[in-house]
């Protein structure tokens, strides 16, 4: 008599269990990182408890179609209805299994679940596949198949009831029709509270990986897609009147006077910009002196000028490119570099140097199509662009492209024949997953990031070898070398991405053009990648007015702040402290400011992101 109800609730129970299985797979795969982060094993297990509400909400969404099918069986319960329900659940099982498997790969690099931005990268599937090792691709594919087969079998064997002639008394049928819709709606929105349930319901730990594990993947993707659609027509980060926000930002950038410290003693030096893929500042300063990941970089610091308080504005390579070349900070949700109609309105330091008589070139050992970087590089009007297809096929390659030492030496050889002054830039590759660098591993520590640390050791070796060879060339003495990361990366510290310290990166000016009084010195002026434009142009007496988001790090009177964006939030840092805030949850993930300063610091950060995102929308 109650078969109608038991059939429906058994299907709902299946999804609650299957979501838990997906969470278990994630925690097992990232077990070492979870154990290294968690305070106790019980804290890890708590992810199943804290994730239940989002699992239930997602289950309610999934069960809306089966509810309609069960209603149909009250009047017509032919085998076709039962078969349709089976097919519906099978499709969802395969889709969810694919999502679980994909997130195992994406979390290692992005420290987040699959979101709207991740879906944009699927426009270039060959590039997505190229970032993973063949074994990983096969492993994740096999996992998808196994999860799908297991899910479909267990559903059909234990949770599916054939909806054929379910004889339900009229009263019970009427109750099913009346009771189930509001239960599904209330379950989907998380209850009767005013604000519907969101991902914050699953946030319970100070360790990001556990909050990620607790958050239902399907629900997270749905919310991310839904929220990004809103930004097509309105600024999702609006916190105050636009006029007030602009006044705050103008005040942030106020510079009483220009007292630029001249550290470059050449009026027109060559510029060689090395953009280091995924280099965290943790690669430079380690907990113990004996644990030096980048020994050659340390040698360069002794003769260079190191900026030890610099942050990446975003977590993606294409965002770093816009920050470095155009002085335009990264922002949540999307990237300006993937939209030609927007980035074409940005300034370019490459174009500025070309206008001043410089020749220019850009090198990358892999494919530039990923993240739409190639079109952005082309927009910057480099005279010569070399990617994997433009190098000799005989050069040793990894899965993503040519190893760093060979692209660096190729650039050095080309520069020997280039007209001076030149502006050359190279984007390293070996510190990108899957880290298949050719050198024997030298680092045996680093927990879950040991492979990453060894790849950084190799890139460091490659850059040192490049400098050694460059010193033999006549153009070396009049060349300013700039080393900076495109963005940071998880390190042995396993910080949450919402922690601004996660995005701290190295920035080094090096070369004989550095005044001897400044070699081996450190500048601790708080800044971000976009500040490279104003700082570099300021050293060479070039106009930097086209870069309003950039400040001169070598002007003691310029403001000190750092802005960082992550998935859908921002971090804002001042010398007195920092906050990290996510508007969609109205949640502070991080706060080191004095209580009396929190409101003013928060207002600055929110105003900055509001004005920045509005400018992005208006481009």
pLDDT score recorded for residue 604: 98
Across the range 442-461, mean pLDDT stands at 94
Q: What is the pLDDT of residues 308-330, one digit of tens each?
A: 999 999 999 999 999 999 999 99
pLDDT at 125 over 90: no
pLDDT at 229 over 60: yes
pLDDT score recorded for residue 121: 63
CA 226-232-234 angle, 5° bins: 95
pLDDT score recorded for residue 176: 76
CA distances from 401 to 130, 175, 316, 393, 397 (A): 9, 63, 19, 10, 5
CA 221-226-230 angle, 5° bins: 145
Query: Is the dihedral angle over the CA atoms 602, 605, 611, 612 positive or is it negative?
Result: negative
* Residue 537 near residue 324 (C-beta atoms within 8 A): no
pLDDT score recorded for residue 164: 59
- Helix H or strand E encompassing 461: helix 450-470
Average pLDDT taken over every residue of the chain: 90
pLDDT score recorded for residue 481: 98
pLDDT at 370 over 90: no
CA atoms within 13 A on the CB side of 579: 19
Across the range 460-469, mean pLDDT stands at 98
pLDDT at 542 over 90: yes
Which pairing describes strands 587-591 and 479-485: parallel, antiparallel, or unpaired?
A: unpaired
Picking from 202, 262, 233, the residue whose alpha carbon sits closest to that of residue 48 is 202
pLDDT score recorded for residue 124: 61
How far apart (Å, rounded) are the C-alpha atoms in residues 528 and 522?
16
**Strand partners for 264:** 514
Q: What percent of the chain has pLDDT over 90?
A: 67
Read off the tokens for 472. Answer: 């033999």
pLDDT score recorded for residue 82: 85
At 111, the pLDDT band (50, 70, 90 cuts) reads: confident
At 374, the pLDDT band (50, 70, 90 cuts) reads: confident
How far apart (Å, rounded) are the C-alpha atoms in residues 421 and 294?
30
How far apart (Å, rounded) are the C-alpha atoms in residues 535 and 537?
6
CA 234-236-242 angle, 5° bins: 75
Across the range 184-190, mean pLDDT stands at 90
CA distances from 139 to 109, 122, 134, 251 (A): 17, 19, 8, 53
At 290, the pLDDT band (50, 70, 90 cuts) reads: low
Q: What is the pLDDT of residues 239-288, one digit of tens each?
A: 999 999 999 999 999 999 888 999 999 999 999 999 999 999 999 987 66
pLDDT score recorded for residue 166: 57
Neighbour count for residue 20 (Cβ, 10 Å): 15
Across the range 11-39, mean pLDDT stands at 93
* Residue 419 near residue 383 (C-beta atoms within 8 A): no
Picking from 491, 431, 456, the residue whose alpha carbon sits closest to that of residue 287 is 491
pLDDT at 232 over 80: no
Q: What is the pLDDT of residues 138-174, one digit of tens each?
A: 888 899 999 999 999 999 999 988 765 556 666 767 7
pLDDT at 588 over 90: yes
Residue whose pair of structure tokens reads 């199943």 in the numeric block: 48
Which pairing describes strands 270-276 and 422-427: parallel, antiparallel, or unpaired?
A: parallel
Residue whose pair of structure tokens reads 């498997």 in the numeric block: 101
Which architecture characterizes domain 244-618 according to CATH?
3-Layer(aba) Sandwich (3.40)
Which pairing describes strands 422-427 and 359-364: parallel, antiparallel, or unpaired?
A: parallel
pLDDT score recorded for residue 174: 77
pLDDT score recorded for residue 197: 80
Across the range 456-464, mean pLDDT stands at 98
What is the pTM for the complete model shown? 0.81
How far apart (Å, rounded) are the C-alpha atoms in residues 489 and 453?
10
* Residue 505 near residue 279 (C-beta atoms within 8 A): yes
- Give the CA-trace dihedral at 53, 55, 60, 64, to 10 degrees: 170
Q: What is the pLDDT of residues 49-58, one digit of tens each?
A: 999 999 999 9
* Residue 592 near residue 577 (C-beta atoms within 8 A): yes
- Helix H or strand E encompassing 359: strand 359-364
pLDDT score recorded for residue 139: 86
How far apart (Å, rounded) are the C-alpha atoms in residues 534 and 515?
19
Across the range 396-409, mean pLDDT stands at 94
pLDDT score recorded for residue 334: 82
How far apart (Å, rounded) are the C-alpha atoms in residues 331 and 609?
7
How far apart (Å, rounded) are the C-alpha atoms in residues 338 and 334?
8
Neighbour count for residue 42 (Cβ, 10 Å): 8
pLDDT score recorded for residue 288: 63
Ordered by start, the domain boundaries in the chain are: 3-230, 244-618
pLDDT score recorded for residue 191: 83
Q: What is the pLDDT of residues 418-430, one digit of tens each?
A: 999 999 999 999 9
Among the residue ranges 369-378, 385-394, 413-422, 480-489, the one predicted with the least confidence is: 369-378
* Residue 336 near residue 619 (C-beta atoms within 8 A): yes
Read off the tokens for 310. Answer: 């610099």
List of residues 6+ apart from 440 with CB closer than 8 A = none
Please give the distance of CA 444 from its chain centroid, rounded to a whole number: 27
Which carries the bigger pLDDT value, residue 339 or residue 251?
A: 251
How far apart (Å, rounded) are the C-alpha atoms in residues 608 and 602?
10
Neighbour count for residue 378 (Cβ, 10 Å): 13
């Amino acid at each position: 008599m109650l078969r109608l109800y038991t059939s429906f609730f058994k299907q709902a129970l299946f999804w609650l269990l299957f979501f838990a299985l997906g969470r278990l797979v994630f925690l097992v795969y990232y077990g070492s990182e979870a154990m290294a982060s968690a305070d106790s094993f019980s804290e890890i297990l708590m992810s199943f408890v804290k994730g239940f509400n989002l699992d239930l909400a997602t289950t309610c969404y999934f069960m809306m179609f089966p509810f309609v099918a069960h209603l149909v069986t009250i009047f017509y319960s032919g085998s076709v209805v039962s078969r349709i329900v089976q097919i519906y659940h099978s499709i969802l099982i395969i889709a969810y299994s694919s999502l679980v498997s994909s997130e195992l790969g994406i979390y290692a690099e992005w420290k987040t679940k699959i979101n709207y931005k991740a879906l944009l990268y699927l426009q270039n599937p060959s590039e997505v596949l190229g970032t993973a090792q063949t074994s990983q691709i096969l492993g994740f594919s096999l996992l998808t198949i196994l999860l799908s087969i297991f899910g479909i079998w267990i559903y059909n064997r234990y949770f599916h009831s054939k909806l054929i002639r379910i004889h339900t008394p009229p009263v019970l049928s009427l109750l099913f029709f009346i009771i189930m819709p509001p239960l599904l709606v209330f379950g989907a929105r998380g209850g009767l509270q005013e604000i519907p349930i969101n991902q914050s319901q699953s946030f319970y730990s100070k360790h990001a990986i556990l909050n990620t594990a607790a958050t239902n993947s399907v629900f997270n993707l749905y919310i991310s897609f839904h929220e990004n659609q809103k930004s097509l027509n309105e600024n999702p980060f609006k916190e105050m009147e636009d006029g007030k926000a602009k006044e705050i930002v103008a005040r942030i950038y106020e510079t009483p006077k220009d007292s630029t410290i001249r550290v470059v003693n050449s009026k027109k030096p060559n510029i060689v910009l090395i953009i280091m893929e995924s280099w965290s500042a943790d690669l430079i300063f380690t907990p113990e002196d004996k644990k030096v990941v980048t020994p050659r970089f340390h040698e360069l610091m002794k003769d260079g000028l190191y900026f030890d308080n610099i942050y990446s504005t975003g977590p993606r390579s294409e965002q770093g490119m816009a920050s470095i070349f155009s002085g335009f900070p990264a922002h949540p949700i999307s990237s300006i570099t993937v939209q030609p109609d927007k980035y074409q309105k940005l300034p370019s330091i490459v174009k500025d140097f070309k206008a001043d008589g410089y020749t220019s070139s850009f090198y990358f050992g892999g494919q530039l199509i990923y993240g739409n970087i190639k079109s952005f590089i082309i927009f910057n009007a480099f005279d010569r662009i070399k990617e994997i297809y433009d190098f000799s096929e005989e050069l040793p390659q990894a899965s993503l492209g040519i190893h760093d030492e060979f692209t660096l030496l190729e650039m050095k050889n080309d520069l020997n024949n280039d007209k001076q002054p030149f502006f050359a830039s190279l984007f390293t590759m070996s510190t990108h997953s899957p880290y298949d660098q050719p050198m024997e591993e030298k680092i045996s520590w680093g927990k879950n990031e040991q492979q990453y640390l060894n790849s950084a050791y190799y890139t460091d070796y490659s850059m040192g070898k490049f400098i050694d060879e460059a010193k033999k060339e006549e153009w070396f003495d009049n060349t300013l070398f700039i080393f900076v990361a495109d963005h940071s990366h998880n390190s042995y510290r396993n910080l949450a991405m919402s922690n601004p310290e996660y995005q701290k990166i190295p920035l080094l000016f090096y070369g004989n053009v550095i005044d001897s009084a400044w070699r081996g010195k450190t500048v601790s002026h708080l800044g971000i990648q976009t500040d490279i434009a104003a700082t570099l142009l300021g050293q060479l007496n070039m106009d930097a007015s086209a870069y309003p988001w950039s400040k001169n790090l070598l002007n003691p009177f310029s403001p000190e702040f750092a802005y960082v964006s992550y998935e859908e939030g921002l971090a804002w840092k001042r010398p007195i402290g920092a906050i990290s805030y996510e508007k969609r949850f109205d949640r502070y993930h991080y706060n080191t400011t004095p209580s009396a300063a929190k409101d003013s610091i928060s207002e600055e950060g929110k105003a900055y992101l509001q004005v920045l995102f509005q400018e992005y929308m208006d481009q």
